[in-house]
Amino acid sequence: MGNKPTINQSWDTILVSKTPLLNFPVREVWRYRDLLMMFVKRDVVTLYKQTILGPVWFFIQPILTTIVYIVIFGGIAGISTDGVPRVLFYSAGIVLWNYFSEVFSTTSRTFKESAGLFGKVYFPRIIVPVSKVLSGLLKFFVQMLFFLCVFFFFSFKDSTITPNSYIWLVPLLVLLMAGLSLALGIIFTSLTSKYRDLTFLIQFGVQLLMYATPVIYPMSAIPEKYRIYIELNPITPIVEAFRHAFLGTGEWSWIGLGYSLIVSLVLGFIGVVLFNRVERTFMDTV
């Protein structure tokens, strides 16, 4: 455009075919923070609408799961709990595991469930999975309350059960868990946006993964030859560290947690790239 006068025009938005793939739109997400909070509110408010028990369901689910585990894995299978009361042992695992499975399974449905919305209006798409992490966190806090009740009941009864100073680091564990489940979730939602095959895997995959995580058994009960496989699971060190902070059993392994962090970062990296890739043209293939 040789003879065209160069007008110094600054454009706010430029839309092209290829956008940088490694881009987490922090500024845009911040601009849409009210929407983020609305999504969280929607998830929480609508979940138990028109139910009688309402938020009590948040408690019932972990309580029933704990009872079932006590009967089956403790009573029938007789799996060790490292000398910790079974209620305490299982509920610790369940509460943390529930957070992972909740966030992972909801974020992995992002594209499928929000297709209608994505087809009608623009906002940074990453807001949807991020909102699931936050609404999952609220649910986690409620269930944590249940766990703390059980915990204080037992620590009052039995003076050997006392938390150690690692307990102050528990928020970091939750953060790590959030990152890991978000990363996995956006990878899977990206992969399933075109080919739905993986959704079948996700459904029972989460359940199978639980058995590869020390939720219903302590690491100490694992035979040496299987140990390595369980340790390869990046969720393992988080669950173990969580139990260690409260119950003193299990292991607080900095190496293990470092491994989890690195895996989360790598998965997060892959997730963002895939997510950005799919986001661009998702509406054409849905």
- Interacting residues toward another protein by CB under 8 A: 9-17, 19, 32, 34-35, 37-38, 41-42, 45-46, 49-50, 117-123, 194-195, 280-285
Q: Name the minimum Å distance from CB 151 to another protein.
A: 34
Task: Look up tokens 């009872």; give the residue.
Answer: 67
Distance in Å, CB of 140 to another protein, minimum: 22
Judged by beta carbon, residue 197 or residue 224, the one nearer another protein is: 197
Amino acid at 78: G
CB of 65 to another protein, least distance (A): 26
With respect to another protein, which residue has the nearer C-beta, 37 or 266?
37
Helix axes 86-107, 170-192, angle to 10 degrees: 40
Q: Whole-number minimum distance, CB 124 to another protein, in Å?
A: 10
Output the CA torsion sign for 145, 147, 151, 153. Answer: positive
Q: Which residue has the tokens 């009052």?
A: 156
CB of 105 to another protein, least distance (A): 20
44 or 174: whose CB is closer to another protein?
44
The two structure tokens encoding residue 215 = 């939720």
How many other C-beta atoms are found inside a 10 Å radius of the C-beta of residue 224?
6
- Angle (CA) 196-198-200 rounded to 5° is 90
Read off the amino acid at residue 68: V
The span from the CA of 216 to the CA of 74, in Å, is 9
Residue among 80 and 281 whose Cβ is closer to another protein: 281
Between residues 98 and 276, which has the closer beta carbon with respect to another protein? 276
Q: Which residues contact 224 (CB under 8 A, 6 or more apart)?
A: none
Nearer to another protein, 34 or 224 (CB): 34
Residue 223 has a CB neighbour count (10 Å cut-off) of: 6
* Residue 162 Cα to chain centre, angstroms: 27
Work out how close the CB of 273 gets to another protein at its nearest, in angstroms, rounded to a whole number: 16
Max intra-chain CA distance, the chain: 87
Neighbours of 32 (CB within 10 A): 17
Nearer Cβ to another protein, position 83 or 119? Answer: 119
In the complex, minimum distance from the CB of residue 135 to another protein, in angstroms, rounded to a whole number: 13
Give the residue with the Cβ less far from another protein, 160 or 285.
Answer: 285
Compute the least distance from the CB of residue 3 to another protein, in Å. 18
- Listed residue (224, 84, 216, 103) closest to 150, CA to CA: 84
Q: How far apart are CA 47 and CA 57, in angstroms?
A: 10
Match 């060190």 to its residue by tokens: 237
